[in-house]
Amino acid sequence: MSGDPLVSVRNLEKYYPVDTGLFSRTESYVKAVDGVSFDIMPGETFAVVGESGCGKTTLGKTVARLYEATGGTIAFEGQDITDLDGKALRQLRRDIQVVYQDPSSSLNPRRRIGAIVKEPLAVHDVGTKAERDERVAELLRRVDLPVEFRHRYPNALSGGQKQRVAIARALAVEPKFVVLDEPTSALDVSVQAKVISLLDDLQDELDLTYLLISHDLSLVKNVADRIGVMYLGNLMEVTDSRTLFENPVNPYTEQLLSAIPVVESGEQSLKPPSVEVRGETPDPKDPPSGCPFHPRCHRAFDACDAVDPELVEVEDGHQTRCLHDPGPKAEAVAEHRSDDVTQEGVTED
């Protein structure tokens, strides 16, 4: 990667208080995002993938400044936006937009499509009434919907059409950065590819940068430039899309890839290693000590429940969070390694 990132996230944390007891005292926290760092370059699609509940939506909404961060920083175009408020935050809301998973709940059923798409223009006081009407028509055309749809209500549209409306609304104020939170997972399989292709075209036409959130590795494979694999609030591996599929180094990524059915196609070379997918995700209110993945890991050894690894670079642009590549924690790992423990399944390379 060269140049300056559009978005730069460092040690980001978002904790939800868990209220218990008679007086609703906060006694613990769900660490939904627990120290996440990454950069997104202008024009890039950075995907975050992981199982349900790993913190993807929380991460997206915190980066978009819809949730307050508990800790860490978010920079946008080089400016720290973590604590922005008032007028500056309102201006930022033009630059950063979010498209949600389910257009049936994100579109107001009592408003016509024209009013829905026009709303951000009114909120940000963009243009005259005539200019806004023209812009709505232009946006509907851009997302391949008939302009006449502006007179309809959302319930007269299919799921894919509703998601196109949600995309048009997000683009109304010409954002630079769009968080796409599972943008196709509520849609029929037959329309998913069309919506993805539309997002791809819009990215090229409008110089957009995407944070794409998905539980579906096979979906992001063809769309993302780089992928971050998330587990229990942490990024476990970050690399470019091809490397992640061809040469994953983190055991959690290996297990996720193993769960994807291998499609007989011209892309046979991108076969994931065969690794058993083990166990259930731990309770995020009571995460394991050490590496959060170690109770399910096929490579875990005795140090893994004692030392919490950092995300370290194993080669240019390829980071992993695993004691097999311990980086600065090498000494702590060495202390915990015991020669007399049989390390089932561990390759010492």
Ligand X SMILES: Nc1ncnc2c1ncn2[C@@H]1O[C@H](COP(=O)(O)OP(=O)(O)OP(=O)(O)O)[C@@H](O)[C@H]1O
For ligand X, the binding residues (CB under 6 A) are: 16, 30, 32, 50, 52-58, 215, 284
Instruction: Tell the residue number behind the tokens 């006081």, with chain if given.
Output: 125
| Shortest distance, position 151 Cβ to ligand X, whole Å | 34
* Least distance in angstroms from the C-beta of 281 to ligand X: 9
CB of 127 to ligand X, least distance (A): 35
Nearer to ligand X, 51 or 95 (CB): 51
Strand ranges (DSSP E) for 21-127?
25-40, 45-49, 71-76, 79-80, 96-99
CB of residue 173 vs ligand X: minimum separation in angstroms?
Answer: 25
Of 54 and 333, nearer to ligand X (C-beta) is: 54
- DSSP code for 288: P
Least separation, in Å, of the C-beta of 16 and ligand X? 3
Whichever of 52 and 128 has its CB closer to ligand X, that residue is: 52
**How far apart are alpha carbons 89 and 95 in whole angstroms?**
10
- Residue 337: phi and psi, rounded to 5, are -70, 130
Cβ partners under 8 Å of residue 98, min gap 6: 60, 61, 64, 66, 170, 178, 179, 180, 181
Evaluated on CA atoms 246, 223, 67, 72, the torsion sign reads positive
Instruction: Give the SS3 label for residue 91.
Output: helix
In the bound state with ligand X, the residue whose beta carbon lies nearer, of 117 and 186, is 186
CB of residue 266 to ligand X, shortest distance in Å? 31
Task: Name 45's bridge partners.
Answer: 210
Nearest distance in Å: CB 319, ligand X: 20
Cβ closest to ligand X, residue 161 vs residue 184 = 184
Give the DSSP per-residue string, 155-215: GGS-HHHHHHHHHHHHHTT--SEEEEESTTTTS-HHHHHHHHHHHHHHHHHHT-EEEEEES
Minimum Å gap between C-beta 292 and ligand X is: 13
Nearer to ligand X, 54 or 166 (CB): 54
Q: Which is nearer to ligand X, 14 or 318 (CB)?
A: 14
Q: Which long-range contacts link 300-303 to residues 24+ away (Cβ below 8 Å)?
A: 300/251, 301/337, 301/341, 301/343, 301/346, 302/336, 302/337, 302/338, 302/341, 302/343, 303/332, 303/333, 303/335, 303/336, 303/337
Of the pair 41, 230, the CB lying nearest ligand X is at 230
Cβ neighbours of 135 (radius 10 Å)? 20
